[in-house]
Structure 1
Amino acid sequence: MTRLSKYTPRPKTGNGPRATTSAMIASLAPEGHPARPAPFGHALAELAHSRADIVGLTADLGNYTDLHVFAVAHPDRFYQMGMAEQVLMGAAAGLAREGFTPFATTYAVFASRRAYDFICMAIAEESLNVKIVCALPGLTTGYGPSHQATEDIAIFRGMPNLTIIDPCDATEIEQAVPAIADHPGPVYMRLLRGNVPVVLEEYGYRFELGKAKLLRDGADVLFVSSGFMTMRVLEAAKMLAADGIGAAVLHVSTIKPLDEAAILGEAGKPGRLVVVAENHSIVGGLGEAIAGLLLRAGVRPAAFRQIALPDEFLDAGALPTLHERYGLSSEAVARSVKGWL
């Protein structure tokens, strides 16, 4: 498969034409919002200065997963595997068996759809110390279904031994890199690349693997969110506050294993609407994981709703347009909550 270098519109089989704007790349943050470039690449390069076991591999996507920063700093520990994701995962498994801690990068669609069996058999079954870090998770590209990994969490949640991380911003990515390197066993981490928003510093946030964190409290709504949707629900919470609606935000960056105690503790508080917000299909992601947890524990919130991507192949187009269309913008989140209250 040839990596896309430009957008070529194609017909849509559903209702209406596919969006054909050429504005395919847009920041996830509002204009003027602070951001840091390539936080993953810089964090991994910095970590490798003190850890000789760290190596980096990619499948022809070093410049598009920010691993090029690591490659420049540590060229003798960088491996370019070409357009061969199965080989990438097999090589990472072999390096892990030799005592290295490999960070393997590609796009989330290629890891989850194309290399699943190699990850399962070569890495997860043996619980090898491989860190799989993948760009373009969910709706973070306008290139359409070939590059939108809207179901990657659903695909990987059922894989034993695999830890799943969905960080919110540059701060969390920088903190998560050494944490997942220290964690024994395989990790799948969704990656925000390029100029990544800085959100969580305002809340004094510290990443802890397996721990959910309450960023703000509120009596009317509890948002449970992961990835960049935590940024969006924080923005929505401020909009709702202007209308006298108090919204709490529980950030869940570790999708597997879930911090069940924190989630049950917050969701069990009486009288609040519980809204799970995620950059993923409504099928098989954080929302269904939390719904199952609440049901098994016998916790019944006042109401339970999901903000997620629909169970369909998504349009191509400009990200701000797509996020509004599919309900992921902060304005759309606020409107949805007002309609449910």
Structure 2
Amino acid sequence: MSLSGYDAYREELTALAAHDGRVVCLAATPVGAGHPFELAHPDRFFGLPRAASAMVDVVSGLVTAGFRPFVCTGPARAGLGTAGSLGLLTRYLEAGATVVTPYAGFLEDYPVLRRLTGVTLAVPCGDAETRAVVREAAGADRPFHIRVGTVVRPYRSRGDLVAGAPVPVVSWESTGVCEESVCLVSVGEDGTRLARGARGAAPWLAHAHLVYLDDVRLRRAAGELGRRRRRFVVTGARHGVDGVTETLARLLPGCEVIAGPREGDAVAAVLAEVRRLKEPA
């Protein structure tokens, strides 16, 4: 049975900790609330207090001692989770922790997070991708920021996810009917849902899905995208000078890169942006 990204994260981290004593979980869930990690590894589970900033020094000490702390904010309907502000989140990352934010909405905090040196930014979709990213983060020597969804959604199986190997920088869900096809580039769960809805209405479109958005991997993804397509509509990323769409546009000179709709269930708006790029019949 498929799980939401948030539940898949909790389950996968708990399983990893059984074989890696360095993995520690700090969560907005209060101690004793039945978090699976706490039930399996109570000596390595910490509930985040309301004054969560006090835990930054704890995280820093854990990293210095050789542990790999994962800090998870509570599920949120909008923006960051209950562990606090973007400023607090960046302090955890700068201390060396991997931070997990349960929220599937558009990436309003991306321009700030991408400025952090040495942090991998990941926005997996669904159960399998989330598990693969968590495994990679647990084995990495750098912090990750992982944004996960809280709703169970149907996702296609990922045959390109190989145990022990990094998640591909570009997952091609469809290559389109010809080289001139407009390519949808989806980011995050909401963006992927919009892109799949648009392809359902216009199956000739190409669709490339991105999981990692830090500068190093986004540059690699842009190289692959540019070798295969010339016109792109990005779904799931907010507009802004340092946003995903604008960054891809800078990395793809000579290509057309435009943003999809800003919010909500707007498959028709995605198709309208495709028409702006004059998709051939």
For residues 117-158 of structure 1, give each alpha carbon's deviation from its aligned partner in whole angstroms, at most 9, with x where no partner exists. 6236x52xxxx3x2111112535xxxxxxxxxx522111111
Partner of 1:23: none
For residues 244-298 of structure 1, give each alpha carbon's deviation from its aligned partner in whole angstroms, at most 9, with x where no partner exists. xx2112221110132434423323446x4311112x421233212211212xxxx
Map of 1:304-319 to 2, 5 A cutoff? 304-307=257-260, 309=262
Distance 1:261 1:60 in 2: 36
Counterpart code for 2:195: V
Distance 2:21 2:54 in 1: 23
Is 1:163 the counterpart of 2:124? The answer is: no
Counterpart code for 1:160: T
TM-score by length of 1: 0.68
For 1:177, what is the secondary structure of its paired residue?
helix
Is 1:334 the counterpart of 2:263? The answer is: no
Is 1:77 the counterpart of 2:44? The answer is: yes
Deviating 4+ runs (over 4 angstroms): 60-64
Distance 1:287 1:159 in 2: 19
- Cα distance, 1:60 vs. partner? 4.5
Which of 126, 133, 142 in structure 2 is aligned with 1:176?
133
Distance 1:237 1:106 in 2: 33
For residues 14-59 of structure 1, give each alpha carbon's deviation from its aligned partner in whole angstroms, at most 9, with x where no partner exists. xxxxxxxxxxxxxxxxxxxx84251111111111111111110023
The alignment-based identity, stated in percent, is 23
Map of 1:8-87 to 2, 5 A cutoff? 35-37=2-4, 38-60=7-29, 68-87=35-54
Map of 1:252-267 to 2, 5 A cutoff? 252-256=210-214, 257-267=216-226
For 2:188, what is the secondary structure of its paired residue?
coil
For 2:147, what is the secondary structure of its paired residue?
strand
Is 1:153 the counterpart of 2:126? The answer is: no
Q: Given the superposition, is the C-alpha separation of residues 227 and 117 from structure 1 closer, same or farther in structure 2, using an over 3 Å criterion? A: closer
Distance 1:63 1:216 in 2: 45
Partner of 1:291: 249
- Cα distance, 1:198 vs. partner? 3.9
For residues 57-95 of structure 1, give each alpha carbon's deviation from its aligned partner in whole angstroms, at most 9, with x where no partner exists. 02347899xx92222222221101211332233322221
Distance 1:62 1:305 in 2: 45
Distance 1:92 1:119 in 2: 7
For 2:199, what is the secondary structure of its paired residue?
helix
Distance 1:83 1:190 in 2: 21
- Cα distance, 1:111 vs. partner? 5.4
Counterpart code for 2:91: F
| Higher relative contact order structure (alpha carbons within 8 Å, sequence separation ≥ 6) | 1
How many equivalent pairs are there?
261
Distance 1:188 1:90 in 2: 19
Uncovered stretches (5+) of structure 1, i.e. residues with no partner: 1-33, 140-149, 310-321
Uncovered stretches (5+) of structure 2, i.e. residues with no partner: none
For 1:206, what is the secondary structure of its paired residue?
coil
Distance 2:90 2:175 in 1: 42
Deviates more, 1:161-170 or 1:88-97: 88-97
Distance 1:164 1:70 in 2: 23
Distance 1:164 1:277 in 2: 17
Deviates more, 1:207-216 or 1:101-110: 207-216
Is 1:115 the counterpart of 2:115? The answer is: no
Say if 2:175 and 2:206, in contact at 8 Å, map to a contact too.
yes
The Cα RMSD (Å) is 2.8
Distance 2:228 2:130 in 1: 30
Which of 201, 204, 208 in structure 2 is aligned with 1:239?
201
TM-score by length of 2: 0.81
For 2:217, what is the secondary structure of its paired residue?
coil
Partner of 1:224: 185
Distance 1:239 1:338 in 2: 13
Counterpart code for 2:185: V
Q: Given the superposition, is the C-alpha separation of residues 63 and 300 from structure 1 closer, same or farther in structure 2, using an over 3 Å criterion? A: farther
